Chain A
Amino acid sequence: MIYTYIAAMAITTYLIRMLPLVLFQKKIENPFIRSFLGYVPYACLTAMTIPSIFYSTSSFLSALAGLAIAALLGWQKKSLPVVAGAACIAVFVTERILALF
């Protein structure tokens, strides 16, 4: 039964990812849809980050510190590993400071 569960999850997820990629191979000409799809990544990532990021660490304040550092460095166009790494360090340091109180 466990294998049936796993297969059902995997097939559902794969079909969602696969069908649009295989069915739409030509350029979509409609300017509204083209711009819509162009905005999708940014809208989607924003909705996934806020407010989930605040629950991603063991305290709201450390997550806020991580977000602040990521936003600061991201705005300055630093590379992905730098921004992600700095955010982790900010969370770690903040939590060590919070632990002192």
Chain B
Amino acid sequence: MRHTKTEQTSKEKHTKTNRPDLRQEIREGFVGSLPIAAGYFSVSFSFGILAAKEGLSPLLAGLISITNVTSAGQFAGLTLIAEHAGLLELILTQLVINLRYGLMSLSLSQRLFGIGTFRRLAIAFANTDEIFAVAVSRKEQPSFPYMMGLEIFPVLSWTAGTIIGAASGQLLPASVLSALGVALYGMFVAIVLPPAREQHPVRIVVLIALLLSLLFSYAPVLNGISSGFKIIICTVAASALGAALFPEKQEA
């Protein structure tokens, strides 16, 4: 950590070659993390309620959240824990549901040049759907301080929401929880649409992914595939088609 007071010269901020201003980078990450943290609080709150119903203490529920930081994986894991499922089954379920993070990390790895292994170990910890999405939608390459600014508050919010949810049960009225349920999806829409509007290839990829996802959700036989695999299949198929159709328009 540097504690030297650096002056912000607006021109320097925007050039990639200069060492990014530490505070400015953390601040930008933090600002980007605010909607994520708000969304996480509502989702983890409902996870906490569910965990309490399954007989977990608030702190134990919080421990799951701070070590896993994944929504779908935790909800599925909770069900399996309640059923006293086998460890292998638990691990395989996590693998399938969370395999998409592998794709995301691979995609993110192409935007973190010059960041060393130890820092990558830290960044990887909370590379969630939302944090990944905000990081890659940034115009400049995400720096390490930026990533930390982006990750820390949502992780704390995710954990706090879980503990408070487990401890207080129905603190928020159902109407508010229902409204907050849409927050994360609203954010996804806000990330996807601007590039889709500007770049024809992105628009096509989004359209393909949308049609495939509907197909895998509602078509007979296909809808038997787990949601984890569904997302992976749709992502790989749509991105590969996009790469085949428009190979060099879009840079990783």
How far apart are the CA atoms of A33 and B103 in the complex, in Å? Answer: 12
How far apart are the CA atoms of A79 and B108 in the complex, in Å? Answer: 21
| List of B residues within 8 angstroms of A74 by Cβ | 189-194
A35 near B242: Cβ-Cβ < 8 Å: yes
| List of B residues within 8 angstroms of A84 by Cβ | 35, 38-39, 183-184, 186-187, 190
Query: Which of A39, A73, A78, A96 is packed against the most chain B CB atoms within 10 Å?
Result: A39
Minimal beta-carbon separation of B143 from chain A (angstroms): 15
Using known A-B contacts A13-B70, A45-B129, A58-B174, determine if residue A66 contacts B64 with beta carbons closer than 8 Å: no
**In chain B, residues 224-244, which have Cβ atoms closer than 8 Å to a Cβ of chain A?**
227, 230-231, 234-235, 238-240, 242-244
How far apart are the CA atoms of A57 and B209 in the complex, in Å? Answer: 23
A50 near B182: Cβ-Cβ < 8 Å: no
Residue of B nearest to A36 (CB): B243
The one of B32, B81, B251 in contact with A38, judged by C-beta atoms closer than 8 angstroms, is: B251
How far apart are the CA atoms of A74 and B63 in the complex, in Å? Answer: 35
The one of A9, A37, A83 in contact with B90, judged by C-beta atoms closer than 8 angstroms, is: A9
A66 near B34: Cβ-Cβ < 8 Å: no
How far apart are the CA atoms of A92 and B252 in the complex, in Å? Answer: 38
**In chain B, residues 154-179, which have Cβ atoms closer than 8 Å to a Cβ of chain A?**
174-176, 178-179
| List of A residues within 8 angstroms of B234 by Cβ | 43-44, 46-47
Label chain A's interface by main secondary structure.
helix
**In the complex, B222 has a CB within 8 A of chain A:** no
B193 near A40: Cβ-Cβ < 8 Å: no
The one of B60, B67, B183, B194 in contact with A2, judged by C-beta atoms closer than 8 angstroms, is: B60
Give the tally of cross-chain contacts (CB within 8 A): 307
The 7 A-B residue pairs with the shortest CB-CB distance, nearest first, are A87-B186, A83-B190, A74-B193, A47-B234, A10-B67, A43-B238, A18-B124
**In chain B, residues 19-65, which have Cβ atoms closer than 8 Å to a Cβ of chain A?**
32, 34-35, 38-39, 56, 60, 63-64
Residue ranges of A at the interface with B (Cβ–Cβ < 8 Å): 2, 4-10, 12-14, 16-28, 31-53, 56-58, 62-63, 66-67, 69-71, 73-75, 77-92, 95-96
| List of B residues within 8 angstroms of A9 by Cβ | 64, 67-68, 73-74, 77, 90-91, 94
**In the complex, B14 has a CB within 8 A of chain A:** no
| List of B residues within 8 angstroms of A53 by Cβ | 182, 185
**In the complex, B16 has a CB within 8 A of chain A:** no
**In the complex, B152 has a CB within 8 A of chain A:** no
Q: How many residues belonging to B are interface residues under a CB distance threshold of 8 Å?
A: 104
| List of B residues within 8 angstroms of A43 by Cβ | 205-206, 208-209, 234-235, 238-239, 242
The one of A39, A41, A83 in contact with B243, judged by C-beta atoms closer than 8 angstroms, is: A39
The one of A75, A81, A89 in contact with B197, judged by C-beta atoms closer than 8 angstroms, is: A75
Using known A-B contacts A42-B206, A47-B213, determine if residue A73 contacts B101 with beta carbons closer than 8 Å: no
A5 near B90: Cβ-Cβ < 8 Å: yes
A2 near B101: Cβ-Cβ < 8 Å: no
B242 near A21: Cβ-Cβ < 8 Å: no
| List of B residues within 8 angstroms of A16 by Cβ | 95, 98-99, 101-102, 105
The one of A7, A39, A92, A95 in contact with B250, judged by C-beta atoms closer than 8 angstroms, is: A39
**In the complex, B7 has a CB within 8 A of chain A:** no
